[in-house]
Chain A
Amino acid sequence: MASTACFVIVSKNDIPIYEAEVGSAPKREDQAYQHQFILHAALDVVQDLAWATNTMFLKSVDRFDDLVVSVYVTAGHTRFMLLHDSRSEDGIKSFFQEVHELYIKIFLNPLYLPGSRITSSHFDTKVRALARKYL
């Protein structure tokens, strides 16, 4: 179980469409901002790595102190980014795959504008449940 983790979904136009602090550590405002800075800084690394490989799961693309960034890039170039300190790569990959399925269900909704913020509380509940299960 990761003691600290932040999960962000970034659309192909570099707009964050979903953010969640997941993990068992108590919530702290200043740390939430720092987590987002770290993830956004890692976007440049992802941009380069995305061309070098065609796998969807990019593990440990960036590092900050004892925190690691893992990323999952879809064919449409949506990026799932996770900031974590656990070592369970299989769990992280499974988490990404399950969230990808949830994301596709949102994406196929004809009333959802691709690239807009995901505001579904059902989606949020499910993502947090998956985080508790896999991370």
Chain B
Amino acid sequence: MGREVAESCVDGVVMQMVAAYCGGFYAAKPELAARRIEAIGFQVGHQLTERYTMERPRFSDHLEAIKFICKDFWSELFKKQIDNLKTNHRGTFVLQDNHFRWLTRVSVDPSVESMDATENDSTTLGDSAAQTTSMLLYFPCGIIRGALTNLGISCSVTADMSNLPACSFVVRIKT
């Protein structure tokens, strides 16, 4: 159980997955690509919780499970804890990571990618960069949903990336 994988390999696999589904398999259907990427994340999260909960007592309520995701689970995956957890006490939680690891290397400045860009091209590249970044976030959303589903909590997860590299995940628990 002690084997490790180089982080650069994980980064590369995640980027290639997004590139393959958005630019290849479902180039013309971004919604299908998003659902596929989220499903992969779901399976990863589902399996990882089984592994990371091996040494600890079981959870007695939803808040305990959410706190496990914010602390232990996040530390295992991203080497830091969630920075902020908010809730409206009616089944919605907002998990905010001020420095989301998988977004720190994402460039959203189109001029860096194309020095010859005209104004229109810059706009297009900007939109494309934002879309790629949002596609990247479907994977961690799926991971969180898979993790919580394995712990017995049905939910939907969306991401808000309006303030890169900070990222918020909104978890809505289904009742």
Q: Do A and B bind each other?
A: yes
CB distance from B150 to the nearest CB of A (A): 5
Chain B residues with Cβ below 8 Å from A105 are: 1
CB distance from A91 to the nearest CB of B (A): 19
Interchain CA distance A56-B60 in the complex, whole Å? 12
Q: Is B11's beta carbon under 8 Å from chain A?
A: no
CB distance from A42 to the nearest CB of B (A): 18
Chain B residues with Cβ below 8 Å from A12 are: 152
**Contact segment of A16-24, A81-89, A107-115:** A107-115
Asked if A54 and B59 sit within 8 Å, CB to CB, the answer is yes
Nearest B residue (CB) for A56? B58
Interchain CA distance A74-B54 in the complex, whole Å? 7
Asked if A75 and B60 sit within 8 Å, CB to CB, the answer is no
Interchain CA distance A25-B1 in the complex, whole Å? 34
Q: Total number of A-B contacts with CB less than 8 angstroms?
A: 49
Q: Is B86's beta carbon under 8 Å from chain A?
A: no
Q: Is B43's beta carbon under 8 Å from chain A?
A: yes
Asked if A75 and B1 sit within 8 Å, CB to CB, the answer is no
Residue total for A at the interface (Cβ-Cβ under 8 A): 19
Known: A101-B1, A108-B50. A76 touches B57 (CB 8 A): no
Asked if B53 and A75 sit within 8 Å, CB to CB, the answer is yes
Q: Report which of A73, A75, A104, A107 forms a contact with B151, defined as CB distance below 8 A.
A: A75
Interchain CA distance A124-B152 in the complex, whole Å? 28
Asked if A77 and B152 sit within 8 Å, CB to CB, the answer is yes
Using CB atoms and an 8 Å cutoff, list the residues of chain B in contact with chain A. 1, 43, 46-47, 49-51, 53-54, 56-60, 150-152
**Complex A-B: 24 CB contacts under 8 Å:** A12-B152, A55-B57, A55-B58, A56-B57, A56-B58, A74-B50, A74-B53, A74-B54, A75-B50, A75-B53, A75-B56, A75-B58, A75-B150, A76-B53, A76-B150, A76-B152, A77-B152, A78-B50, A100-B54, A101-B1, A104-B50, A104-B51, A105-B1, A110-B43
Sorted nearest first, the 8 A-B pairs with minimum C-beta distance are A75-B53, A54-B57, A54-B58, A76-B150, A107-B50, A54-B60, A108-B47, A104-B51
